[in-house]
Amino acid sequence: VEWEPAASPDARRAYLLTMYAFVLDRPVSVQADAPPVPIATPGRSASLPAPAAAALRRLLSANVRSVRPRTVFVEAGSPMTEINVMIEGWAIRVATLADGTRQIVAFHLPGDICEFNALLAGVADTSVEAVGPARVAAISRRAMAGLTEDFPRASQAMWRESWVAAATQRAWLVNACRRSAIERAAHLLCELHARAELAELVDGDSFECPLTQGHLASAANLTTEHMNRCLRQLREERLVEIGEGQLAVRDRNALAARASFDGAYLTQV
Amino acid sequence: VEWEPAASPDARRAYLLTMYAFVLDRPVSVQADAPPVPIATPGRSASLPAPAAAALRRLLSANVRSVRPRTVFVEAGSPMTEINVMIEGWAIRVATLADGTRQIVAFHLPGDICEFNALLAGVADTSVEAVGPARVAAISRRAMAGLTEDFPRASQAMWRESWVAAATQRAWLVNACRRSAIERAAHLLCELHARAELAELVDGDSFECPLTQGHLASAANLTTEHMNRCLRQLREERLVEIGEGQLAVRDRNALAARASFDGAYLTQV
DNA sequence: CGTACTGTTGATCAAAGTCAATTGAGGTGG
DNA sequence: CCACCTCAATTGACTTTGATCAACAGTACG
């Protein structure tokens, strides 16, 4: 068994596909050079190799449910009987402390597997909440259980996802601990931009982002007010534009330099 | 395939054994009620079911290397060709930023698998450094590769470990973001105590801990000076005693209450 | 016998939090 | 259609936590 590198969006698409194929209980040949076929996913369109299109369409129609804005669809403490794959819309993963304060520990974008490892735990340790309207595919624990036996490649794909999640978490920890407020803000925006790109949500240099400044503040460990000040400064430095549910990164390299952002952790595996 | 809960030290020992058995390329029957046999691991003694004892002893003798204090034995950026299991001594996982500042993102105690998921990445994103003298078993990537095919139970065991690592990382993030300095200090001590207990390092209410206040400070996102003040206060509150390479938790419940610590994430899976 | 590291304490300072208030957009019921 | 409400964004004034700077003692170590 050898692990292929998956540094490019193409490779990422390929491994997500492998995962989808597993879910559908039938193999899907993934050819990077196959002619891409546009899939009409409401809200965005994704280019996928031909065999994948049908598989993805089947998955979507079979398991998807719609989630209203601000709805908690994974409750901390509740048993994990299924795993969720974001199809459309954004979600936040929230840790709630004893005193009721909340901390966003992760964002989930379309294509993301929500905390794949949690299936093992049996109980969710954090909540997941849709930000805007969202569509989520719920995959049963039972379907996952055959994973290691039946579908080694899917298993690899899952591990990749879980490594990226862990590396991202580490990056957030370092971010929150070692950087100044404005660097934290810039770093978060860099990550969101890079991830939106991987999810093929970016149009030009901007993308739709339903997050409020409060969300960004919580994720970067700032107060809403201070995040507002930081965003203003980044705007004045002509690095980003933000508003109207749109987020635009005007000077990608300068923003990355401002935050000493290195997105390798998002694509390395 | 069903996942058994592993909430007790016994269960944790059992799953680590399963992992060791995999590494040795032969099955080891794990019976929780088998008569425990003490193993003479220099520095501490572990009680393990009989069949496991031989397996563990073989693993130790075959793959262990000694590491000097302050030695970096996993270098960030270097290729990951093997995975490390801590046998003896403590290690820190360190992220180094562009400007050279360092941040401890994890501690590794005896029995811990060091960042199992990193094997997939091919490249380490953080360094691992022995604190005091340590002994480490290096397991080849090749031995790991047969995992999913040959030994489903070991695969489960690995996943458990990786889930605990991810949950711990999340706990650190929440800790660093939402708690006051003294709570962070207390929370870290609670976690160290709980983990030392799982590693069977605790004697009475105290255990040997080679970490300096600087290490604790980095992990809790404080300066060394401020960590010192926090520790003094916790000492004055008769919650802990610390010094001489020993760490004693005098009032476990009070300390946990001080930090609103819930150790479920360490044992849940 | 210096040298380096850890632990310790005190004085000062700044980054970010807290509090307070205003604006404007969007939604809702009468 | 308008009064009313809620929520996000924004700005300013003030406060606090923990960082920074400085100094010193004890100890291990070459």
Q: Which nucleotide is nearest to B181 (CA to C1')?
A: D18
Helix axes A181-198, A224-236, angle to 10 degrees: 80
Q: Which of B78, B81, B99, B159 to mutate to test the interface with A (most CBs of A within 10 A)?
A: B159
Beta strand pairing status for A102-108 and A91-96?
antiparallel
Structural tokens at position B101: 């500042």
Structural tokens at position B96: 């180094």
Determine the Cα–Cα distance for residues B78 and A263; give it in Å rounded to an integer: 17
Q: Which of A15, A93, A120 to mutate to test the interface with B (most CBs of B within 10 A)?
A: A120
Q: Do A132 and A69 form a contact (C-beta atoms < 8 A)? A: yes
- CB-count burial class (<10 Å; 0-12, 13-18, 19+) for B269: buried
CA atoms A78, B5, B8, B199: torsion sign: negative
β-partners of residue A40 are: A45
Question: Which of the 8 DSSP states describes residue A75?
Answer: -
β-partners of residue A130 are: A91
Q: Do A133 and A68 form a contact (C-beta atoms < 8 A)? A: yes
Nearest in space to B175 (alpha carbons), one of B212, B215, B234, B221 = B221
- Is B1's CB within 8 Å of A145's CB? yes
pTM > 0.95: no
Structural tokens at position B212: 């300096």
Q: For residue range B21-74, list pLDDT tens digits in order.
A: 555 444 444 444 444 433 333 323 333 444 444 544 555 556 778 889 999 999
Rounded CA Rg of chain B: 18
Q: For residue range A152-188, list pLDDT tens digits in order.
A: 555 566 667 778 888 899 999 999 999 999 999 999 9
DSSP string, B57-88: HHHHHHHEEEE-TT-EEE-TTSB--EEEEEEE
B69 CA, D30 C1': Å apart: 17
Which residue has its C-alpha nearest to nucleotide D19's C1'? B223
Q: Which of A1-15, A174-188, A249-263, B177-191 has the least mean pLDDT?
A: A1-15
* B113–chain A nearest CA distance, Å: 15
Instruction: Please list, in sequence order, all residues whose beta carbon lies within 8 angstroms of the beta carbon of residue B185, skipping any fewer than 6 positions away.
Output: B216, B220, B222, B227, B230, B231, B234
Q: For residue range A24-79, list pLDDT tens digits in order.
A: 433 443 444 444 333 333 222 333 444 444 444 555 556 778 888 898 999 988 88
Which whole number is the average pLDDT over B163-167?
85
Q: A125 contacts in B (CB within 8 Å)? A: 167, 170, 264-265, 268
Q: Where are the beta strands (DSSP E) in A9-133?
A: 36-41, 44-49, 64-67, 72-74, 82-88, 91-96, 102-108, 113-114, 127-130
Helix or strand (DSSP H, E) at A208: strand A206-208
Nearest in space to A243 (alpha carbons), one of A231, A251, A254, A253 = A231
Q: A266 contacts in B (CB within 8 Å)? A: none
User: Which chain A residue's Cα is nearest to B222?
Assistant: A177
Q: Which of A57-61, B182-186, B230-234 has the least mean pLDDT?
A: A57-61
Determine the Cα–Cα distance for residues B142 and B83; give it in Å rounded to an integer: 10
Distances in whole angstroms, Cα of residue B128 to Cα of each of B43, B110, B124, B207: 21, 14, 9, 22
Exposure string for B195-213, b = 16+ CB within 10 A, e = fewer: bbbbbbbbeeebbbbbbeb
